[in-house]
A and B are shown apart, each in its own frame.
Chain A
Amino acid sequence: MQPDQLTEHTLVDSLLTLETFTGVDIKLRIAGVYIRGIARLIDDVLRILIVSALTALLVPTGVVGIGLAAVLGFFVWWSYNVLFEILNNGVTPGKHYMGLRAVNADGTPIRWANSVIRSLLLVVDFLPVGYLLGIITMSLSGTQQRIGDIVAGTIVVYNRPLKSRRIPDIQRSAPLPEHLTAEDQLLFLSFQERMSELSPERAIELAETLEPLLHKQGQDALIEVNAIAQGIRIGS
């Protein structure tokens, strides 16, 4: 392990790196308590609305209706999460709206048993009031897991990619300087993609950081960095 990597591991980050059996690392963006809280709220409101609608429809029909409402209400209340998670690949309506997905802790799709366990244990996470136990365990566990997640071996990740940016229209491409790693090349591409969000002065300042490598300053440095990025992009 390189010293750089050692330092990297002690830094605070919300990314979970998993090594797959093929040896390829996948990086999952773990969702935390705030966004999951909103998703939970949406799901709970929907559940309450469905159960209320069933009650309002069936109860006036008599004793059989009351019984049916009770049975169906119970079914909806307890199966809502499980059915959505299994049939919709880990995404309930609340999670869909917030761009989240429940997956197994190894990144694979969630299965019946895991989904049932995490849904049943929502009751425990609710204790003593207002999901306090769940909030505490999520905050304390490095992978933002509530008790249900820990027992079921699941995590909730961001399902939506970060906002894509418009790449500036650049005609010129330049060859890649020697000794640049794949990570360095990604940095050039990232610079090119994020140009629109940087102020022109700041963009030049950043490009000038590479002066010992590119031997260019000011606007020329900026053009050169973009040209290198373009070269990487088109594979020259």
Chain B
Amino acid sequence: MQIEKLQVVLKPRSMWESADLGTQLAVRWFFPLSVSWILLALPFLLISFQFDHLLAQLVFLWWFKPLYERAVLMSLSILTFDGRLTIRAILGGFTDIRLWFYLTIFRFSWARSEHTPIDALEDLDFNAQSQRRHWLYASDSRIAFLVSLFGLLIEAIIVVALVSLFYFLTQSDFNSAYAGVLKILNINEISKEESVFLTIAIFIAMGISAVFYVSVGFATYLDRRTIKEGWDLELGFKKIINRLGIVVFGFILVVPSVDLLANEYGDDIDETLTRVLSTPELNQSTTIRVPEHLSEYVQAMLKVEDVEPTRYRVGIGSAVMAWILRFILISALVVMIGFFFYKLYEKYGTGSASINKGGKAPPQIIRVRKLPRNVHRTIQTYWSDGQFRDALALLYSATVVYVDATFSCDILDSDTEGDCIRKTKNIDADSRDAFRVITQTWLRLAYGNGTPSEESFQTAMRLFEQHIAPS
């Protein structure tokens, strides 16, 4: 290991500080680390879909976690030592025999995050690995245990958050979203589509957690080696020698040279220096080929006078690709601008245009068409069949549609029940009161799960027939 290349400040840290350092490493290289995890884990995800039972899918994915984590560890060690991330370098970490133990008898080891760096990064035999981990960690795996526990907790939190987010964004009301979350987390009653969604959510959570889990283990390993092997001391001592070495070297090089030049050429040191500086050894040049369109920029940036532009020949494939990319970018820009103006128009244009003060607005045909032909009879049929929710939902929607059509209240699809009541406060008193009674009856059932009595329902129906939509 070339500790000079390390991208981490070396110093003795406590175990907790090592964990903090691991978090920072994970954040700094989150993208390459997560990509290396995904590349290895994705085939396993696809294979897992072949299992019929969700539990089998999840156990399969979970069992091979040490394998995906190895890719993250190798990537992290390469990046931390400022190396070049290549597939070959990453695969170098998979030759360790102990990896197969982690996939079998050591699968439940809590200390995996701490021990894996020794196994993967140090070329030791089986016994030497055991001795080394005992020496390095002194059998203290408290942090490794807590990090594993924390990782599991984070995975659970992310899964619940993703599932909740999905349902709360896709469902229209809180009750349905809440019911959806509870249903999907009960894996015995889950549908095929939901099981695929849950597996993907768990896969994402595993990926995020793995990056932090591995990084913390690696940072702990680095810090333990710093303490036990004095890496920071070695670097510091080398810096002292380099610094003092430069002083000695400079003294030897500069002082005798000036004396020599003074003796040889007399007092005209300036002339001598000019001559020395113009010798070929001190005037070597490197040719940089610069594309024609960049020549001025390079000239300004490097502050050189003699930049020779080169006209590159562009192949037909590259030209077509460039044209396609340009077309896509411009189209995307146009679409985005168009979409922006469309949203503006939708928000302000139609809204202001449709404000109809005084006179009646034309009825909203589309909405009315959604209602059954004989609303009254359909509602009564639903009620008598015991479909109370359907009956009241239809009664409420029909009320909204008729009120909106009759009094032009500008009720939108996105309006809540409260919005509708506010928008109908200026209509005639009887219709307004009827609307409020019907809304309250619906709200009690929709949000309070309280089925209205026969009397309440018939009252609501009577009001609907008398003041909202005479049959």
Contacts and interface: CB of A to CB of B under 8 A. Distances in A.
B161 A209 contact: no
Given A129-B160, A180-B240, A206-B230, A14 B20 contact: yes
A11 B7 contact: yes
A35 to B, nearest CB: 4
Given A139-B27, A202-B229, A212 B241 contact: yes
Contacts of A98: 16
Interface in A184-220: 184, 187, 190-191, 194, 197-199, 202-203, 206, 209-210, 212-213
Contacts of B228: 197-199
B164 interface: yes
Nearest to B146: A34
A194 to B, nearest CB: 6
Given A162-B12, A179-B247, A194-B233, A34 B21 contact: no
Interface residues of B, number: 50
Interface string A2-24: 00100010111111000000000
Contacts of B232: 190
A89 to B, nearest CB: 21
Contacts of A120: none
Contact of B227 (A13, A180, A197): A197
Nearest to B240: A184
Interface in B394-440: none
Contacts of A184: 236, 240
A126 to B, nearest CB: 11
B241 A12 contact: no
Given A12-B8, A129-B161, A135-B154, A210 B237 contact: yes
A38 interface: yes
Interface core residue of B6, B14, B17, B227 (most chain A CB under 10 Å) = B17
Interface residues of A, number: 48
B329 interface: no
A35 B244 contact: no
Interface string B132-152: 000000000001001100100
B238 interface: yes
A98 B143 CA distance: 13
Contact of B157 (A12, A30, A130, A191): A130
Contacts of A115: none
Interface core residue of B23, B158, B243 (most chain A CB under 10 Å) = B23
Contacts of B23: 32-34, 139, 144
A31 interface: yes
Contacts of A183: 236
A203 B161 CA distance: 51
Given A194-B230, A194-B233, A13 B241 contact: no
Given A11-B9, A12-B7, A210-B240, A140 B27 contact: yes
A111 interface: no
Nearest to B25: A12
Interface in A23-48: 29-35, 37-38
Contacts of A38: 146
Interface in B240-295: 240-241, 243-245, 247
A194 B237 CA distance: 15
Given A8-B9, A184-B236, A198-B229, A162 B14 contact: yes
Given A12-B24, A180-B240, A212-B241, A132 B8 contact: no
Interface of A: 4, 8, 10-15, 29-35, 37-38, 98, 128-130, 132, 135, 139-140, 142, 144, 158, 162-163, 179-180, 183-184, 187, 190-191, 194, 197-199, 202-203, 206, 209-210, 212-213
Interface of B: 6-9, 12-14, 16-17, 19-21, 23-28, 143, 146-147, 150, 153-154, 156-158, 160-161, 164-165, 212, 216, 227-230, 232-234, 236-241, 243-245, 247
Given A12-B21, A162-B12, A162-B13, 16 more contacts: A11-B9, A12-B9, A13-B24, A33-B23, A98-B16, A128-B164, A129-B157, A132-B157, A179-B247, A187-B236, A190-B232, A194-B227, A197-B227, A198-B230, A202-B230, A213-B241
